[in-house]
Chain A
């Protein structure tokens, strides 16, 4: 049955609460009763497995995968990082799906009616699978900020949505990556819904080393997922 040592528990000092009234949609959508503890079984310790065969050639290049007759407008960026577990072990073959607004802050989603232009050469969706060292890379356009109806003059900070599959179903994570120095972070109830000590883990780092000269600014975003608990042997090292 393989490693049934279990997966580390969800760290509730890292994750936002289910109801955070400043983010108004949580009030009627977040469960109110305590979560029921569960003894982990194969159901939680297994999970969907995707490999590099799940990818099409341009899936990780959002500057090209939606192009119709030219390049998308905006600031070209490269986003890279590693997917790790809490023990720092790289997570190879982790599927990452991303989606984001275009440079003007407009999603291709038909429900987005923000009065900003659609970019005919930008779709905004992509995916990647981590390599043997847990590393992924996306090329994209820096997403724009956009208004939303949560409160008066509410604006979402620049962000990229990420969805990840790790080593087990219990590792599942959907999150958002933000950009350093964004003044909207201090005003955003979604970002601020995250426990204070954990928020900086959602903010990518600008890196001149990752920046590709004459081509794209570089950002680094490492992601830590729940993984197998350490074995007694690892604990004793």
Chain B
């Protein structure tokens, strides 16, 4: 059994930008990841994923940080637990704050992931951090033009029917849009990952 206990989470607070997203916010420090995730040599369909984060009053959150973790265009994760090996050069990880866009959007320029395993729909794994969240929350972004795959996806199918739409981004051109609602009638589904 476990000998040690998990270190508790604490909020990312209002001042993460220079530490975690320095390049995006113009601080003189490097960043390990940004919203631009796919260089020219990465295979796959270029897409943009964007949205806003809304609080319980319906106001856009200007100091949230969003991270995404995704498979490459063939559904492979760049991690030893995925023995298939991934597209060289594609880390699959993006991070951006909502504080630099005038509309407080998060914006990721990436490639559309493939399905990791048969029966799963392609998706982005998402973590949301912000001042006022003592513990980060996990969600997912699915793609609105993958109706058949979404209908068969085991995770999406486990979500109550009337809440599934909170996880599915609508496509316009090469851009997928999905807002994250922390509270309210359209509260986003967050997973106990």
Contacts and interface: CB of A to CB of B under 8 A. Distances in A.
B188 A31 contact: yes
A26 B9 contact: no
A39 B20 CA distance: 29
A15 B135 contact: yes
Interface stretch (B25-33, B44-52, B144-152, B169-177): B25-33
Interface string A6-50: 001111001111101001011111111101111111111111111
A86 B3 contact: yes
B77 A97 contact: no
Contact of B133 (A18, A47, A194): A18
Given A99-B16, A195-B8, A43 B134 contact: no
A75 interface: no
Contact of A27 (B8, B32, B56, B91): B56
Nearest to B62: A111
A36 B7 contact: no
Nearest to B183: A32
Given A99-B18, A125-B22, A56 B7 contact: no
A36 B130 contact: no
**For this complex, into which size category does the number of interface residues on chain A fall?**
35 or more
Classify the secondary structure of A's interface with B. loop
A87 B4 contact: yes
A109 B190 contact: no
A43 B116 contact: yes
A46 B82 CA distance: 7
Contact of B15 (A49, A111, A168): A111
B84 to A, nearest CB: 8
A50 B30 CA distance: 14
Contacts of A142: none
A139 interface: no
B133 A50 contact: no
Contacts of B140: 43
B134 A35 contact: no
B192 A123 contact: no
Contacts of B4: 84-88, 224
**For this complex, into which size category does the number of interface residues on chain B fall?**
35 or more
Given A15-B6, A97-B20, A123-B28, A36 B132 contact: no
Interface string A214-226: 0000000001111
Contacts of B135: 10, 15-18
Contact of A194 (B10, B78, B155): B10
B158 interface: yes
A38 B18 contact: no
Contact of B182 (A1, A29, A47, A87): A29
Contacts of A201: 5, 7-8
A174 B11 CA distance: 7
B141 to A, nearest CB: 12
A111 B15 CA distance: 7
A151 B9 CA distance: 22
State the 9 A-B residue pairs at the shortest beta-carbon distance, nearest first.
A99-B19, A25-B132, A46-B79, A29-B132, A16-B134, A28-B56, A35-B192, A48-B93, A46-B77
Interface of B: 1-20, 22, 27-30, 32-33, 55-57, 61, 63, 67, 69, 71, 77-83, 91-93, 116-117, 120, 123, 125, 127, 129-138, 140, 154-155, 158-159, 182-183, 187-193
